[in-house]
Structure 1
Amino acid sequence: MDKLVRNLYRLLTGLSCVSMVAAFLIVLLGVLSRQVSFIDVQGLDAYAGYAIAAALFFALPGTLQNGDHIRVTLMLDRLPARGRAFFEWFCLIAALALTAYVAWYATRSVWISYVTHDISPAADASPLWIPQISMAVGSIGFAIAFAHALVLRARGESLIAASEAARSE
């Protein structure tokens, strides 16, 4: 099971990379379309925004695993070992609850947009449920990452690697 969820993190990180390249290409196409007046592509700004949002949400689980999220250790470093353990458990449980709620809400938003045939108010007039899928998938992956971190913590292991900057301090 551990290998399966770690492969999920890799897959989502790969999708994040693809989304970043797509955002770059869309912005590049927008710049070129302004320079060469015979090309007129509607909704490029919206598509670039969708791609950037997809990149951000897809990257959440992988960055958690790699220790690239901001962790405030100022208070943790000053707590005794038992207090630190309690606080880490509390934070992991609270983070799982919050990310599970966000995942549920994002999934619900996709469904509501699909059922109501909600479209983008931008020039692209795309069905909104399509770009919202990346938010829902990334949020679900993030919630899975926190559940995975809790399971590993219960086994005495750690999912969240310390980043290079944190290790050097």
Structure 2
Amino acid sequence: MRRLLDALYAVGAALAALSLFAIFLVMMAQVAMREMEMQLPAADDISAYLCVATTFFALAATFRRGELIRVGMLIERFGPGARRIAEAVVLVLAAVIMAYVTRWTFSDMLFSYEIEEVAQGTVPIPLWIPKLAMPIGAGLLLVAILDELVTVLRGRKPGYVVAAEERAAAGDFSAEV
């Protein structure tokens, strides 16, 4: 199960990387076409959609690596038992919030599909396509949060804490800034 979940998070990270690379390609095509006195239709819209996709697809992998913003000043002062309870409570709250976000973004994407909503720019892009990244990314983050909740309930340290401790032990404080 661990390998399957890690592969799922890696797929999300790979989709984020592909989205970021696609932004680069759109921008380079736009630059090249400007030199030829042409325009790439909907380049700004496509870049914006890809930016959202990059953000949402990267959420789960970033969370698992302990690189999302996290305020641990209070939790870090607790003893092991109280810290485990606090981590579990926070993870339950995060799971509830992400379940709502996942449901809401899925409903919004489905509504766009049902009414055949299209972008109002120069290219009528069906909006359900770029909106699809949001429920997928939010769902992946929900799975990652539930994964960490199970880890904490089993009495082990969450992966994001382990990852942060490993970085600190190696002298890498880049994610802590």
1:81-106 deviations in whole A, cap 9, x for unaligned? 33322221111000000111111111
Single out whichever of 109-118 and 154-163 deviates more from structure 2.
154-163
- Quick one: distance in 2 between partners of 1:100 and 1:54? 18
- Quick one: distance in 2 between partners of 1:31 and 1:126? 22
Deviation at 1:165, TM superposition (A): 5.9
Deviation at 1:124, TM superposition (A): 2.3
CA contact (8 A) 1:113 1:128 kept: yes
Q: What residue number does 1:28 align with?
A: 28
Q: What residue number does 2:88 align with?
A: 89
TM-score, scaled relative to structure 1: 0.91
CA contact (8 A) 1:148 1:159 kept: no
Q: What residue number does 2:140 align with?
A: 141
- Quick one: distance in 2 between partners of 1:104 and 1:66? 25
CA contact (8 A) 1:111 1:129 kept: yes
- Quick one: distance in 2 between partners of 1:23 and 1:29? 10
- Quick one: distance in 2 between partners of 1:77 and 1:117? 49
- AA aligned opposite 2:136: V
* Mapped pair 1:113 → 2:105: no
TM-score, scaled relative to structure 2: 0.87
**SS in structure 2 of the partner of residue 122 of structure 1:** coil
Single out whichever of 6-15 and 76-85 deviates more from structure 2.
76-85
- AA aligned opposite 2:32: L
CA contact (8 A) 1:44 1:124 kept: no
* Mapped pair 1:162 → 2:163: yes
**SS in structure 1 of the partner of residue 163 of structure 2:** coil
- The 4+ residue runs of structure 1 with deviation greater than 4 A are 164-169
Q: What residue number does 2:6 align with?
A: 6
CA contact (8 A) 1:96 1:146 kept: yes
- Quick one: distance in 2 between partners of 1:129 and 1:166? 42
Q: What residue number does 1:126 align with?
A: 125
Q: What residue number does 1:73 align with?
A: 72
State the identity as a percent: 29
Q: What residue number does 2:18 align with?
A: 18
Deviation at 1:166, TM superposition (A): 5.2
CA contact (8 A) 2:9 2:140 kept: yes
- Quick one: distance in 1 between partners of 2:115 and 2:159? 39
Considering only aligned residues, what root-mean-square deviation do their CA atoms show, in Å?
A: 1.7
CA contact (8 A) 2:87 2:152 kept: no
CA contact (8 A) 2:84 2:155 kept: no
